[in-house]
């Protein structure tokens, strides 16, 4: 339970979303200064750097870029911070996926510079938050860094998002699916949110988390089918906003709980490493609802949604054999290795988690069987 009675709400200074907005990047960065230093995801570096050079060459701004090497780790942070210093950067721009974005946050924070985030997929709610997850050079989780402020601007070009692999978009829905249920758990336990040192949540945060969930149910399937054909509809725009802005504001201002705790546990099984964050979180949502003994109607809604959009509902879909050893390994990590699950409004033990995973797996198989008939 949070001790303070003070409420707090954190957010980026601005969020802009629309087709072709990437081409306006120089218009936005010039308000922060003349010298721009961009960190660009390695997979996209050649194409996006070429486009940005053309944009900035016709402006009064000085543009410099570095290819992100792939891991948000201290040596990469040190390398990019030194480069930003070398260029006397006025503003940092992070362009890419979650690890690129998190690295840009650390660089900007360490230099106390303005930060612009340009996500290239809707697979994560990281862009809007004042948090970074940092790893070792070999990719092992090292911890979470909380920054003093959120990004100054999150710029989402929906033309870029719609060209990203569909699986990333679906995974983003899995991550966003947890936002409301974890907010609800944190409200029930009166746990601290992720703003600064941790405060009580504002009602605005709870409302945003609920809106995120409502949009997923209303537009998730429609958006997936539209993107499958490579078109951007109003439903696609709505879900991009839910995955990125609403989920980001929701989790930071209300907190995470068992769904993300289950994700952490699943990562202990090597076979799950090829699956995306949101894919594991989606199964975690089902486990959380089982722990909470949610109404059957709610569980059915969530499981059917996951099946419709292509998110896992069973251990087998994450390549986890449902052995006692595997499930005990997951449960131990959830309870002992991650504090998130303890935001639930009741005592969590390894047995509670173990039993919930087995029951969630059986529910997933049950609904898959019904669907197959």
**Residues with a known catalytic role:** 175, 260, 263, 277
Ranges of H-type helices in the chain: 25-29, 45-57, 74-86, 98-111, 158-163, 166-189, 203-228, 234-241, 247-254, 258-266, 277-291, 296-309, 324-336, 350-372
Contact in structure between 110 and 78 (CB atoms under 8 Å): no
CA gap 203, 138 in Å, rounded: 40
Closest CA to 140 of 271, 273, 263, 40: 273
Interatomic CA distance for residues 83 and 39, integer angstroms? 10
Say if strands 141-146 and 131-135 run parallel, antiparallel, or are unpaired. antiparallel
Closest by CA position to 129, among listed 265, 256, 313, 278:
256
């Amino acid at each position: 339970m949070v001790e303070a009675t003070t409420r707090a709400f954190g957010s980026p200074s601005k969020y802009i979303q629309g087709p072709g907005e990437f081409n306006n990047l120089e218009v936005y960065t010039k308000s922060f200064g003349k010298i721009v230093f961009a960190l660009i995801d390695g997979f996209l570096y050649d194409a996006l750097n070429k486009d940005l050079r053309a944009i900035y060459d016709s402006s009064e701004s000085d543009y410099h870029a570095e290819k992100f090497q792939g891991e948000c780790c201290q040596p990469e942070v040190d390398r990019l911070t030194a480069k930003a210093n070398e260029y006397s950067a006025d503003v940092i721009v992070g362009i890419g996926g979650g690890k690129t974005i998190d690295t840009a946050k650390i660089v900007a924070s360490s230099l106390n510079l303005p930060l612009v985030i340009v996500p290239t997929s809707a697979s994560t709610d990281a862009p809007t938050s004042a948090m970074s997850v940092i790893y070792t050079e070999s990719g092992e989780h090292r911890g979470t860094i909380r920054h003093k402020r959120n990004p100054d601007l999150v710029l989402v070009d929906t033309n870029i998002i719609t060209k990203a692999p569909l699986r990333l978009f679906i995974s983003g829905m899995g991550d966003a699916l947890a936002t409301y249920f974890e907010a609800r758990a944190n409200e029930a336990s009166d746990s601290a949110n992720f703003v600064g040192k941790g405060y009580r949540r504002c009602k605005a945060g709870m409302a945003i988390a609920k809106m995120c969930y409502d949009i997923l149910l209303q537009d998730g399937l429609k958006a997936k089918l539209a993107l499958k054909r490579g078109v951007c509809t109003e439903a696609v725009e709505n879900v991009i906003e839910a995955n990125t802005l609403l989920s980001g504001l929701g989790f930071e201002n209300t907190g995470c709980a068992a769904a993300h705790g289950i994700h952490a546990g699943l990562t202990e099984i090597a076979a799950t490493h090829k699956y995306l964050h949101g894919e594991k979180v989606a199964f975690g949502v089902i486990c959380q609802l089982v722990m909470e003994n949610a109404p059957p109607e709610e569980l059915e809604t969530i499981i059917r949604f996951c099946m419709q959009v292509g998110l896992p509902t069973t251990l087998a879909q994450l390549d986890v054999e449902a052995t006692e050893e595997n499930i005990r390994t997951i449960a131990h990590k959830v309870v002992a290795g991650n504090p998130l699950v303890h935001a639930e409004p009741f005592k969590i033990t390894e047995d509670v988690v173990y039993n919930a995973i087995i029951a969630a797996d059986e529910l997933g198989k049950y609904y898959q069987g019904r669907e197959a008939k």
